[in-house]
Amino acid sequence: MGIHRGHQARPVEWLAEKFIFLVSLSAILMVLLIFLFVAREALPVFVGQTNTALVQKPIPTVELDKHSPAELQAYLELTPEQFKQMSRETLKALMDVKVEAQDDIPEQFRNDPDARINTTEWPYLLKAHRWTDYAKPEYIWQPVGEVKKFNIIPLVVGTLKTTLIGLLFAVPLAVGAAIYVSQLARPRVREILKPTIELLSGIPSVVVGFFALLVMATVLQTIFHYQTRLNAFVAGIALGFAVIPVIFSIAEDALTSVPRAYTQGALALGASRWQTAWQIVLPAALPGVFAAAVLGFGRAIGETMIVLMVCSASVMSWSIFDSTRSITTTIAAEMAEAVNGGPHYRILFMLGALLFAATFISNMIGDFVIHRFKQKLEGKR
Amino acid sequence: MNTVTPGQYLPESSSDTTRITRHFRAEKFDFWSFFFSGLTGLATLFIVGILAVILLNIVINGWSGFSWHFVSTIPKKDFFDVHTTGVLPMIVGTSIRVIVMTIFVIPVGVITAIYLTEYAANTSIITRIIRAAVNNLAGVPSIVFGLFGLGFFINFVGKNMDKLLHNTSAVWGQPALIWASLTLAVMTLPVVIVATEESLKAIPPGLREASLALGATKLETILKIVLPQALPGILTGGILAVSRAAGEVAPILFTGVAYYMASLPGHLSDQFMDLGYHVFVLSTQSPNIEQTRPILYATVLTLLLLTFALNIVAILIRARMRKKLRALG
């Protein structure tokens, strides 16, 4: 009759296999859920349902039926679910409150053009705007006060500043160490060095931040003599510490996976160990080293606690010796004071979605490059 | 006189290569080779040096404030007071959130790894998507996990649980131990999967084939042959996940950590105090940083002892496992 296969012959095996398969889908599910729920909380910003304008044209309560539900929902700053649950009476009461609130606005804002602006619209999020009392258009992130300013450019610049300093510091060191450990060191030394450097990743980022705050900031200031003790430079170097182990282990892995025949061939032709490492092994492993830097970038851009402890002020500045504030830091520092469901809360989630997208893309690039690199090496072997 | 004929001496390890190079290369001194080799050596030394400086700085400065009294005292509201403060609630909080996390992440991670190594065809699309998802999960910033915990666990799952259970005040729909633990479980899932997969792959296929040839089913083979062999690897993965999670602060900021609590957490819906968060509070919000420096260093030392000790244990287990497997294969 032949061998029975599938669930007819062994129902328990069949069930177990299906169960194991279903559980293994959880990783995919989690990525989807993260994307879905971070985007869900940020959605009102994307579709223009948040409004921070202080002075709004009030809708008289009697005109309740003249407006579409979508308009009313945006006007009352409600979520669709909240809106659905409300009875007609509650809506009317809310509209009364809204009209009264307009009467309570302080005199000084009545004629202030800033108070009529919905600061969560894209032009105000991305472009410089000349606010009242300012001499020229400026990029300002200032989520407190009567007129809340949500320009995200200072945060993006702050993030890029610390990340680039961190990478400029970490990539040469980590790649240099990877070359040394994988190509030049004696095997016995390598056995000790590799796990030691990887130990660095075992230090929690809050401890690196603490060390940067208490020790490094002072040391670096005495060396470079700059004004602000805590600045983007200190944060960047500390970030570098955090990404060194990431870049090191990926680059070391790439360098080690270059076929030994390459090295032996070069050495046999009379090249020195350094020439072999620099001219043969490194070019062959370059995609892997590049991927290491990209993945290090993803790690640095998402690091929170280090920058949070070392820097705080959100000033728009390209100087590396000014205090700075990154996207992650802003989310961490301000989420507690943001009203659940309010415009500030939505914008912070939008920043999170932005960050998720940025790291998602850099991870995809890094993984793709490594995958191609490994395939190429295997093909040549 | 040593001569090497083809096939007679094929260098297998790089120590052999070194020996050959030494033997054959002329004594000519190449300055640039020496210079650049030295530079990479210095880079290595610099990294190791930084690690040593950080650790020594913390151990030396933290030792004086570190005492039995310090780790066994529940502090009063003003925990900046050097003499009466302690870190017991933080140690308990961090430990509990990590233990609860382990209960969720280990089974899911191990089963996923079993699917990837034992069942899945390596080239199938679904396997590639799972692997891509695992890689991506490993790269998501920790603060985004915090947002996810707030948006999904608290605002969606928790609030709906409150609605279903007819709670009049928020019980589950607020920051809580369980939500912090679950958020961390999602974050450390890739760590467990990768470590388990590595240990499963290292088991010689012969063991599986022998078991199957003797008439055991695939499930029996996995449960009785493969998993016991992979246990050290699974343990390593668990330890690495625990050590990673114990030091993370960003994901728990909005999902359960408390600035101060008078008592230890007693329920999954309670908030908790945390060692890493306490380090952050002590170093950024202290009224007098010079005065509170000893307790700050002592707290950092406690955190490091917790995370670092676990890390070193994981590395030792892994090294021993590799040696054993090398002997086997």
pLDDT by position in tens, chain A (length 381): 445 555 566 888 889 999 999 999 999 999 999 999 999 989 888 887 777 776 666 677 777 777 777 777 767 767 666 777 777 778 778 777 777 777 777 776 667 777 777 777 888 888 887 777 777 888 888 887 777 888 888 889 889 999 999 999 999 999 999 999 999 888 899 888 988 898 888 899 999 999 999 999 889 988 888 877 888 899 999 999 999 999 999 999 999 988 889 999 998 998 888 889 989 999 999 999 999 999 999 999 989 999 988 876 666 667 777 778 889 999 998 888 888 888 889 999 999 999 999 999 998 898 888 888 888 887 754
**Do B144 and A34 make contact, defined as CB atoms within 8 angstroms?**
yes
Residues in chain A closer than 8 A to B151 (CB atoms): 37-38, 40-41, 349
CB of A80 within 8 Å of any CB in chain B? no
What is the domain-level CATH number for residue B136?
Answer: 1.10.3720.10
Question: Cβ(A231)–Cβ(A324) under 8 Å?
Answer: yes
A149 pairs with which residues across the strands?
Answer: A142
On whether residue B52 sits in a domain, the answer given is no
For chain A, say whether B202 makes contact (Cβ under 8 Å).
Answer: no
What predicted TM-score, i.e. pTM, was given to this entire model?
0.86
- Across A214-229, b (16+ Cβ under 10 Å) vs e yields bebbeebbeeeeeebe
Is the backbone of residue B141 left (phi > 0), alpha (psi -120 to 50) or beta? Answer: beta
Average pLDDT over residues B135-149: 93
Q: Which of A34, A305, A367 sits opposite B249 (nearest CB)?
A: A305
Between B246 and A64, whose confidence is greater? B246
pLDDT tens column, B301-313? 999 988 887 778 8
pLDDT at A245: 93
Q: Which residue, chain included where needed, has tokens 């949070």?
A: A308
Candidates B106, B140, B291, partner chain A, best to mutate (most A CBs within 10 A) = B140
The string of pLDDT tens digits covering residues A92-140 is 787 777 777 777 777 766 677 777 777 778 888 888 877 777 778 888 8
ipTM of predicted assembly, 2 dp: 0.85
pLDDT surpassing 80 at residue B147: yes
**Domain assignment of residue B71, yes or no:** no
B268-295 pLDDT, tens digit per residue, is 889 999 999 999 999 888 888 888 888 9
Alpha helices by DSSP H, B204-255: 205-213, 218-221, 227-247
Nearest to A274 among B36, B276, B293 (CB): B36
3-state secondary structure of B257: strand
Q: How high is the pLDDT of residue B4?
A: 45
pLDDT recorded at residue B194: 92
> Which residue from B minimizes the CA distance to A305?
B250
Question: Which pLDDT score, from 0 to 100, does residue A50 have?
Answer: 75
Asked if the C-beta of B39 comes within 8 angstroms of chain A's C-beta atoms, the answer is yes
B125 is a domain residue: yes
**B189 to chain A: closest CA residue:** A27
Task: Give the pLDDT score at B288.
Answer: 82
Q: Which of residues 241-300 of A touch B (CB under 8 A)?
A: 241, 244, 248, 260, 263-264, 267, 270, 272-275, 278, 295, 298-299
pLDDT for the residue numbered A20: 94
pLDDT at A313: 64
Q: Are A148 and A345 within 8 A, CB to CB?
A: no
Q: Which fold has domain A153-380?
A: MetI-like fold (1.10.3720)
**Can you give the pLDDT at residue A314?**
60
Contact between residue A325 and residue A313 where contact means Cβ atoms under 8 Å apart: yes
H helix intervals, A302-342: 305-310, 327-334
User: Is the Cα dihedral A255, A256, A260, A263 positive or negative?
Assistant: positive
Q: Please name the residues in contact with A316: beta carbons below 8 A apart, sequence gap of 6 or more.
A: A138, A139, A140, A153, A154, A157
pLDDT tens for residues B172-228? 989 999 999 999 999 999 999 999 998 898 888 999 999 999 999 999 999 999 998
pLDDT confidence bin for B9, thresholds 50/70/90 = very low
- Are residues B218 and A21, on separate chains, in Cβ contact within 8 Å? no
pLDDT score for A229? 81
pLDDT of residue B5: 46
For chain A positions 317-346, those within 8 Å of chain B (CB to CB) are 328, 331-332, 335-336, 340
Closest CA–CA distance from residue B240 to any residue of chain A (Å): 9
Residue (of B272, B268, B242) closest to B256 by Cα position = B272
Strand partners, B272: B257
Residue B205 lies in a domain: yes
> Which of A30, A174, A193 faces B189 most closely, judged by CB atoms?
A30
pLDDT of residue A207: 94
Question: Read out DSSP for A115-157?
Answer: GG--TTSHHHHHS-B--TT-SS-B--EE-SSSS-EE--HHHHH
Q: Is residue B54 part of a domain?
A: no
pLDDT for position B329: 52
Domain of residue B134 covers 83-328
**What is the number of domains present in chain B?**
1
- Token output for B102: 């382990």
The reported pLDDT for the residue numbered B28 is 61
Q: What is the pLDDT of residue B3?
A: 46
Residues β-bridged to residue A129: A138
Taking residues B26-42, what's their average pLDDT? 80
